[in-house]
Amino acid sequence: MDYLAIARKYRPQTFEEVVGQEGVATTLRNALESGRVAHAYLFCGPRGVGKTTTARILAKALNCADGPTPTPCNQCESCRGIMGGDDIDVIEIDAASNTGVDDIRSLRDNVRFAPARSRFKVYIVDEVHMLSRSAFNAFLKTLEEPPAHVKFVFCTTEPHRLPDTIHSRCQRFDFRRISTTDIVTRLGQICAKEGRAADAGALALIARSSKGGMRDSETLLDQLTSYCGDAITVAEVEQALGALPRPRIFQLIGHLAAHEVDKALQLVHDALQDGKDIENLLTQVLDHVRSLLVLSVCGSQRALLDETPEDLAELVKQGQSFTTDSLLYISQVLWDTLRKVKEGAHSRVPLELAIIKLARSSDLQPLAAVLERLQALEARLATNTPAPPGAPPRGARPAPRAAAPTAEKPTPPPSGEKKKAAAPTKRPRLAKREGEPPASEHPAVDYEAMAAARAELEKAAKDNPVVSEALRILEGQLIKLEK
Ligand SMILES: Nc1ncnc2c1ncn2[C@@H]1O[C@H](COP(=O)(O)OP(=O)(O)OP(=O)(O)O)[C@@H](O)[C@H]1O
Ligand SMILES: [Mg+2]
Ligand SMILES: [Zn+2]
């Protein structure tokens, strides 16, 4: 007997079998039951989530010898013809290879003829966004008032590329990505029917790797079935995916947290030696950091995470080494690196530079305090309010936060800045000198103090993302004031 790929062999044949698209299935069943089936549907959604499958079930439901019915028999000639994809009244068109206006004109001419043996002529147009503009225009009239014996189902992964004129003539259904849990259940059922054993972790890994697409999961399962021994294991799935084992990702992030540059670089080197793909590796690390970030900001809202309970427990532990800010910083660096890797010649250099940068960056925790101080400064600058009593006098470097507010003597500026700090300024000052005319209504700004603060920040900003962000805020305020 001919070998049939799992994805084809296990194509759902009833609305109930379609996984994860309950909303669509229920609405269609109700429409069939009440005899209110629209003349044109638009099925939108990612690859391999059941659009064509549902279109075929709808066609069977309309044309079944027992129908129209929400539960086609799957036995009659029409049902069997549609299941095999060779029914004369259900016409599947791949718009990607029939994009021209001539194709659509001949379709339009054919639409007029009555179905050969069934109730309806059902046109299933896949990848409909690929049609040319003139082809869409040729379609419009037919779509507006098709003969009563015609139904259209348009499928697309890119609904935004369709003209509004098409959208407004169709009933739209959005197909969702399928959850990891639902995919795992389905894969488990398929394995049982195929008499194959598979670890639960292995199935979860397959499901996660296909990002909600059932077909991709089934194709990978198919590949593994022919390649694995008795049972499909996590290690074999990782191998097939070209992925780094998850414990290694945990280790890599651990090295970054512990500033172990050498170990982190060695781990990356080993992975690349082992044939792992740079882009893949970066994506894996990014996904891992995303999980840490979600945990860090959402705490108990675990539903946002697609992790096994064991990995989740590990992640919670690892998350304690990072602040949200540092995780944001790590993600940002990794994103930039991924972009560079994609743009460039797939070199390992950007990856290694990122690893060095991240492993060397100091812990951001204490810097939250710096940021707080800067925000206070920013608020003051924004409202032009004078510094509170005890703040460093004009021309002096701002005292460190921990310094006693009673300090009488200004902290002397470091030697390099002495001259600049001591130089008289023509700019408005905060304090009024004796004999001076009364200050204007508009409170003055202490530019020298600001310049000193800026110099201090520029130094600190060199290897610290929080400070450099603070500096950016401060710069913005200075520019506004100078204007
Ligand atoms: N919701 C689902 N439930 C069960 N199996 C599914 C589902 N979606 C897809 N599959 C499996 O994937 C295969 C392909 O599905 P289908 O052709 O319906 O995808 P599609 O959404 O039309 O994708 P594409 O956009 O690539 O055309 C099916 O034969 C079936 O095995
Ligand atoms: Mg399809
Ligand atoms: Zn039937």
Ligand 1 pocket, mutate which of 11, 211, 220 (most atoms under 8 A from CB): 11
> CA separation (Å) from 333 to 143, 246, 266?
49, 21, 19
For residues 330 and 300, membership in a common domain is answered with yes
For residues 210 and 83, membership in a common domain is answered with no
Q: Report which of 47, 63, 41 is spatially closest to residue 125, judged by C-alpha positions.
A: 41
Q: Give dist(CA 304, CA 286) in Å, integer.
A: 15
Cis peptide before 68 (omega within 30 of 0): yes
For residues 334 and 264, membership in a common domain is answered with yes
For residues 259 and 379, membership in a common domain is answered with no
For residues 30 and 157, membership in a common domain is answered with yes
For residues 130 and 253, membership in a common domain is answered with no
> CA separation (Å) from 220 to 9, 185, 211, 214?
14, 15, 13, 10
Asked whether residue 427 is domain-assigned, the answer is no
7 in contact with ligand 1, CB cutoff 6 A: yes
Q: Report which of 126, 176, 124 is spatially closest to residue 19, judged by C-alpha positions.
A: 176
9 in contact with ligand 1, CB cutoff 6 A: no
Asked whether residue 51 is domain-assigned, the answer is yes
For residues 106 and 21, membership in a common domain is answered with yes
For residues 168 and 131, membership in a common domain is answered with yes
For residues 217 and 266, membership in a common domain is answered with no
236 in contact with ligand 1, CB cutoff 6 A: no
> CA separation (Å) from 15 to 18, 36, 53, 56?
5, 17, 9, 10
Q: Report which of 31, 5, 40 is spatially closest to residue 218, judged by C-alpha positions.
A: 5
pTM of the full structure: 0.72
Pick the last residue of a domain from 336, 360, 384.
Answer: 360
Q: How many domains does the chain have?
A: 4
For residues 267 and 334, membership in a common domain is answered with yes
Residue nearest to atom 12 of ligand 1 (CA): 215
49 in contact with ligand 1, CB cutoff 6 A: yes
Average pLDDT across each block of 10 residues of the chain; the chain has 483 residues. List them in order: 84 96 97 94 96 97 93 95 91 83 79 90 92 82 87 95 91 95 94 90 91 95 83 89 92 94 96 92 94 89 80 92 92 94 84 93 55 73 60 40 36 41 38 43 62 72 69 66 58
Q: Tell me, what CATH number does 26's domain have? A: 3.40.50.300
Residue count (the chain): 483
Residue nearest to atom 30 of ligand 1 (CA): 11
Tell me the DSSP string of 401-422.
Answer: TTS-TT--SPPPPPGGGHHHHH
Q: Give dist(CA 466, CA 483) in Å, integer.
A: 26
10 in contact with ligand 1, CB cutoff 6 A: yes
SS3 label, residue 85: coil
Six token digits for residue 9:
């062999």
Pick the last residue of a domain from 197, 217, 241.
Answer: 241
pLDDT for position 474: 65
Q: Give dist(CA 7, CA 215) in Å, integer.
A: 6
Asked whether residue 293 is domain-assigned, the answer is yes
3-state secondary structure 99-165: CCHHHHHHHHHHHCCCCCCCCCEEEEEECHHHCCHHHHHHHHHHHHCCCCCEEEEEEECCHHHCCHH
129 in contact with ligand 1, CB cutoff 6 A: no
Question: Which ligand sits closest to the CA of 71?
Answer: 3
pLDDT for position 363: 52
Sheet holding 171-174, edge to edge: 90-94, 121-126, 150-156, 40-44, 171-174
pLDDT for position 284: 93
Q: Give dist(CA 171, CA 23) in Å, integer.
A: 14
Asked whether residue 406 is domain-assigned, the answer is no
pLDDT for position 382: 73
Full domain range(s) for residue 189: 180-241
Asked whether residue 422 is domain-assigned, the answer is no
Asked whether residue 370 is domain-assigned, the answer is yes
For residues 308 and 387, membership in a common domain is answered with no
Q: Tell me, what CATH number does 297's domain have? A: 1.20.272.10
- b/e sequence 103-128, b meaning 16+ C-beta within 10 Å: bbeebbeebeeebeebbbbbbbbbbb
Residue nearest to atom 20 of ligand 1 (CA): 48
pLDDT for position 293: 94
Instruction: Tell which phi-psi region holds residue 136, choosing left (phi > 0), alpha (psi between -120 and 50) or beta.
Output: alpha
pLDDT for position 199: 86
Tokens 């200075």 identify what position? Answer: 478
For residues 62 and 156, membership in a common domain is answered with yes
Taking the mean position of all CA atoms in its chain, how far away is CA 450?
41
Six token digits for residue 336:
């930039």
Pick the last residue of a domain from 215, 241, 267.
Answer: 241
Q: Give dist(CA 379, CA 421) in Å, integer.
A: 24
Asked whether residue 104 is domain-assigned, the answer is yes
Question: Which ligand sits closest to the CA of 222?
Answer: 1
Asked whether residue 425 is domain-assigned, the answer is no
Whether the CB-CB separation of 3 and 198 falls below 8 Å is answered with no
Phi and psi, residue 11, nearest 5°: -70, 125
